[in-house]
Amino acid sequence: MKIVTLLLFLLSTSISFGQINQTIRGKVIDRYSETTLPEAKIYLMGTSDTLRQLSDFEGRFRFENVPVGRYTIVARMMGYENAVLSNLELTSAKELVLEIKLTEEVTDLEEVKIVAKEDGETVNKLATVSARSFSVEESQRYAGSLNDVARMAQNFAGVQGADDSRNDIIVRGNSPSGVLYRMEGLDIPNPNHFARFGTTGGPISMLNNNVLANSDFFTGAFPAEYGNALAGVFDLRMRKGNNEKFEFMGQIGFNGVEGMAEGPISRKKRSSFLVNYRYSTLELFQLMGLEFGTAALPKYQDLSFKLDFPHKNGVTKVFGIGGISDIAILASDTKDANDLWGFQGNDVYFGTNTGMAGVNHKQRINSNSFFEVMLGGQIATSQARNDSLDLNGENPFTTFLSNSAIGKQTTVFNYQNKFSSRHLIKTGLIFDLYFLKLADSLYSPATDNFRRLRDFEGNMALIRPHFQHRYRINEDLTLVSGVYAQFLNLDWQWAIEPRIGLEYKMKHQQQFTFGYGLHSQMAPIETYFDQVQIADGSYITPNKTIGFTRSNHLIAGYQKGFKHGIRAKVEAYGQYLTNVPVEAKSSSYSTLNFGATFLTGTPDTLVNNGLGYNYGIEITLEKPLDNGFYFLVTASLFNSKYQGSDKVWRNTAFNGNHTLNTLAGYEFRFGDKNPDAKFKSALSIDLKFTWNGGARYSEILVEESQFFGEEIRDWNNAYEQSYKDYIKGNARFAYKLIGQNVTQEWALDLQNFTDRDNIFYQEYNSYTGKVRTVYQNGFLPVFQYRITF
């Protein structure tokens, strides 16, 4: 009876009398100078009649009492290219607040045709190749994304996931550690719970898509403002809180229980706040009989916030994210032979704390230029303990201890000047000061004592200037050139990297793109401070002089548009990596394989003598959401090889050779055409099919493993074997109920609905003397409920 009463209450909050209307408002600005644009014509399409307004002297516009539904907005202004924002969803619980950026034309024409802004067009207009934007709605809509932007990005061409247990992304055969995350202009640490130093993925993301705005994702040859990365870049932006009214959201699902609030700090000054808190423990779901591929119960919580303070000729933003997490993975309690996170014969205790906060002050100098200064601080800590068990799975004995912290203080200065409609420059300087405390030790049976792996406390600095020039040769041809440099005070290493991009728009919705970039990346920080014990019992740190890994990336692309917003895109690329850290003595080890497994050992001494290359072709066929229907098909054929210090060319651990993603969905809307409807609703059905080449692995030598009583792999033929192909189908069903002031949504994500057995990894079982195969998640239903008011 209580459940029925609760359901009736929830429905009653949506079924109310009167028309269900909401407000659409926003501001129009110049894309590059960011000055406001008064008297821009704003058209609202999707109602029975097209509505029109002019932006005021502050560039603002407002449409009141708009019936909820999906709309298209067109912004036009003399001397500027038109902007079209399509399929914007307006719900009853939240105002739709927009910032429309217009690009100045090279030549002034009195009459211009409307050229629709393409879905996927990057926020950063200095990118010409291997880049696309993504929306919050995409991270919610795509089946299998689980509201995680990293899992959503696995649908893009050239990108694939590593496995079901984590959200690491493999970009064009590169290690996941080559991905950079940036938030509001500041580089941030690994934004995931249970994150290991040097990696960029984790089981659960701290990036809450409820607070994100449209952001960019790059897969190669990225602009000169990005550096210290070889594979890809997430350039993330947080949205502003509503500066006129208070709005709230509550949500429960796979990622936890969360609440969000936003609203004005001062309506007069148009300042606002946005804050989201989330707490989760999977114990409640396990009690309901749902299995998550592990007996371990991860506990975590996180917080995201942003404050906006507009002022004369600028804005000051304060923002941050942070999370704490803890897990105990106990083999002594594990009963499931297919535990995704289990470690045979060991009890593992692992906890991480990660946080960052920043201040961004942007000030316009004049109508064409501005500067911004950013100050940021971040901290990431990691605590781990490993207890080995006897053959009976009892009597734990500590064999590994770790208690480390990496902090960073960042200062950023950027200056941008749009000299004319043809010429734009952007230059800046990033100064990172690291604060390190690294302590790891491993038990040595030979000495019956712990041997130090790392024991360092101190600082290091990284300085990174950059310069970019965008030259619009004419309306159709754009050249972007730039240079990036970085200097590390460990052994005074340095790199200077040219970047260039070309974009040529042709007739009949055709476009050709070209890009080249030289990129460099530091080794994982803890690698520099690995210690080696020598004969007299003292320790040395042989890796402090490791240089940057270098990458030359060359990309060419072609894109063709068709009717109904359909577009096809092809990109071919080649990447050649040099100066790769490999083992000093002859072996197959290379840091290009870092992150292939959660536990990755590092040889005692590394040198920069390794090589690698990646090449491939990618195809994208896409129809953005229009009239309720969308689809996305991406396919990649690629090859990824590396050379260790033994001078043998091998497959990298990430050389899956092919990947295919097919997504499609349809949205049924009810009540939109009836202005007197007491409530409106929408039903969404989304499907996804993934087919990836099998993960590479090094074969287990069973006889040798039986002889030594521990797992021995054939590293002379590293990564020459592969598991069977990874095939997975996901489906998502969502129902949205829109009332007078409340919007509710119920969603069910069916992970691996075919219940296919995809291999996670194989390991040698010292108890049985046989190889054990561990499988990834089987069929897994994931439910979510969201209420916004």
Q: In this predicted model, what pLDDT tens digit does every residue of 202-212 receive, in sequence order? A: 989 999 889 99
371-375: average pLDDT = 97
C-alpha count within 13 angstroms, C-beta hemisphere, residue 297: 11
Residue 75 has pLDDT above 50, yes or no: yes
pLDDT at 284 (0 to 100): 61
The span from the CA of 34 to the CA of 29, in Å, is: 5
> Hunting for tokens 């994150």 — which residue is that?
195
pLDDT at 535 (0 to 100): 85
pLDDT at 496 (0 to 100): 98
Q: Which residue has the higher pLDDT, 584 or 391?
A: 584
b/e sequence 305-316, b meaning 16+ C-beta within 10 Å: bbbbbbeeebbb
pLDDT at 334 (0 to 100): 63
Residue 211 phi, psi dihedral angles, 5° rounding: -110, 0
DSSP code per residue over 723-750: PSPEEEEEEEEEEEEE-SS-EEEEEEEE
User: Coil, strand, or helix at residue 565?
Assistant: helix
- The percentage of the chain sitting over the pLDDT mark of 90, rounded to a whole number, equals 72
Confidence of residue 294 (pLDDT cuts 50, 70, 90): low
pLDDT at 108 (0 to 100): 45
CATH 2.40.170.20-classified regions of the chain: 153-788
Average pLDDT across the chain, whole number? 90
pLDDT at 600 (0 to 100): 60
pLDDT at 190 (0 to 100): 95
108-126: average pLDDT = 56
pLDDT at 468 (0 to 100): 98
> Burial level of 88, CB count in 10 A (0-12/13-18/19+)?
middle
Residue 178 has pLDDT above 60, yes or no: yes
* 186-200, 401-415, 437-451, 508-522: least confident range: 437-451
Residue 386 has pLDDT above 80, yes or no: yes
Name all contacts of 47-51 with Cβ < 8 Å and 24+ positions apart.
47/71
CATH code for the part of the protein at 153-788? 2.40.170.20
Residue 58 has pLDDT above 50, yes or no: yes
508-530: pLDDT as tens digits: 999 999 999 999 999 999 999 99
The span from the CA of 387 to the CA of 350, in Å, is: 12
Residue 72 has pLDDT above 50, yes or no: yes
The span from the CA of 733 to the CA of 668, in Å, is: 11
pLDDT at 3 (0 to 100): 41
Beta bridge partners of residue 729, listed in sequence order: 689
Residue 116 has pLDDT above 50, yes or no: no
Confidence of residue 692 (pLDDT cuts 50, 70, 90): very high
User: Coil, strand, or helix at residue 780?
Assistant: strand
Residue 455 has pLDDT above 60, yes or no: yes
Q: Which residue has the higher pLDDT, 299 or 381?
A: 381
pLDDT at 440 (0 to 100): 92
* 134-148, 238-252, 415-429, 465-479: least confident range: 134-148
Q: Are 431 and 408 in contact (CB under 8 A)?
A: no
Q: How many CB atoms lie within 10 A of CB 21?
A: 14
Residue 483 has pLDDT above 70, yes or no: yes
Q: Which residue has the higher pLDDT, 617 or 343?
A: 617
Q: Where are the beta strands (DSSP E) in 91-219?
A: 96-102, 131-134, 159-161, 169-171, 179-183, 186-187, 192-193, 204-205, 215-218
8-35: pLDDT as tens digits: 444 444 444 457 899 999 999 999 988 9
C-alpha closest to that of 238 among 123, 323, 151: 123
Beta bridge partners of residue 44, listed in sequence order: 51, 73
Q: Are 346 and 387 in contact (CB under 8 A)?
A: yes
Q: How many CB atoms lie within 10 A of CB 209?
A: 22
Summary count for the chain: helices (H), strands (E): 5, 45
pLDDT at 16 (0 to 100): 44
The span from the CA of 657 to the CA of 326, in Å, is: 36
The class that CATH gives domain 2-117 is mainly beta
CATH 2.60.40.1120-classified regions of the chain: 2-117
The span from the CA of 52 to the CA of 36, in Å, is: 19
The span from the CA of 219 to the CA of 703, in Å, is: 42
177-200: average pLDDT = 94
Is 0.85 topped by the overall pTM? yes
723-753: pLDDT as tens digits: 999 999 999 999 999 988 899 999 999 999 9
Residue 275 has pLDDT above 80, yes or no: yes
Confidence of residue 109 (pLDDT cuts 50, 70, 90): very low
Q: Are 145 and 135 in contact (CB under 8 A)?
A: no
Q: Which residue has the higher pLDDT, 331 or 284?
A: 331
